[in-house]
Amino acid sequence: MKNLFLFLFFVAYASFAIAQDNDSTSVKRKNVFKFLPVNIPFQSNSFEYERMINAKNSFTLGIGLANQQSLIGKYGIDASSDLNSAVLGTSHIRVAFRHYGGGKRNLPRGFYIEPYVKYQKITGSGSVQNTDPNNPYSGKLDIDLNTMNFGFQLGAQFLIAKRVTLDFYFLGLEAGVMSGNVTATSDQLSQVDNLKSKVEDAISNLPTFIGDKLTVTQPTSSQINVKASSVPYPWLRGGISIGIAF
């Protein structure tokens, strides 16, 4: 999968680099470096670099760096006496081609359509421990997932004082597949058996095109594993970025 992604990256870059336009002199700023604050709640510090390749088209490379911070006290996850840790982080690489509509003056700005491909990595962990002598237990959860996504988005980019960009991407439709593992471990064997049964029941209630892609196993008596194999899912994309054009 990674080799395919790299191949698409270099093919796209080579193709767009040679697609020069005779009206390229109308491009006032050919480079934009952007920060995407909307990805912070997803535990990611995300940046994009946009390069104008002619007066109407550009190439974008986006990178998200995982920000492994605690989730305790956020998103409805309350700190409890037995919850020791809960962290999550996402990272990604996104390659896109952008076509601007309208005129060809003072770009990069205006309404645009942008098809893209994106690879994403999701990692996380959590642990619980109850020291109550009447019911002591401990356990942990590990998440290791990756997704491959294809989609397009509509948006509008504005130039302020010829240098600052505001990029609103207000309609993005995305289709992806998810693979990876979620592993739960507990030192109470009865809890493991009960959890395995509940997970299997939950999967059985899912649509078959999703449930058939999930496999529950018990590698050891104290551990269960849920393996996802190319689980399809839709996604919506929208937000804002702020950047510097040069």
Task: Go through 81-106 and write b for each residue having 16 or more CB atoms within 10 A of its CB, e for each that does not.
Answer: eebeebbbbbbbbbbbbbebeeebee
pLDDT tens digits, 160-212: 988 899 999 988 999 999 999 999 998 887 778 888 888 999 999 999 999 99
The pLDDT assigned to 24 comes to: 45
- Say if pTM beats, i.e. exceeds, 0.85: no
Is the predicted pLDDT of residue 4 greater than 70, yes or no? Answer: no
In this predicted structure, what is the pLDDT of residue 42? 81
**Per-residue model confidence (pLDDT) at position 18:** 43
Given this model, what pLDDT does residue 232 score? 95
Rounded distance between C-alpha atoms, residue 165 and residue 245, angstroms: 7
Give mean pLDDT, residues 229-233: 95
Which string of DSSP letters, residue by residue, matches 166-225? Answer: EEEEEEEEEEEEEEEEEEEEES-HHHHHHHHHHHHHHHHTS-HHHHTTEEEEEEETTEEE
Structural domain boundaries of the chain? 2-245
CATH 2.40.160 for domain 2-245, yes or no, is yes
Q: With the CA atoms of 146, 175, 50 and 97 taken in that order, what torsion angle do they form, in degrees rounded to the nearest 10?
A: 130
pLDDT tens by residue, 18-51: 444 444 445 567 999 999 998 988 889 999 999 9
Q: What confidence category does residue 7 fall into, taking pLDDT thresholds of 50, 70 and 90?
A: very low
- For residue 13, pLDDT beyond 80: no
Q: How would you classify residue 114: left for phi > 0, otherwise alpha for psi between -120 and 50, otherwise beta?
A: beta
Q: Does the pLDDT value for residue 214 go beyond 70?
A: yes
pLDDT in tens, 81-132: 677 788 889 999 999 999 998 766 667 889 999 999 999 999 999 888 877 7
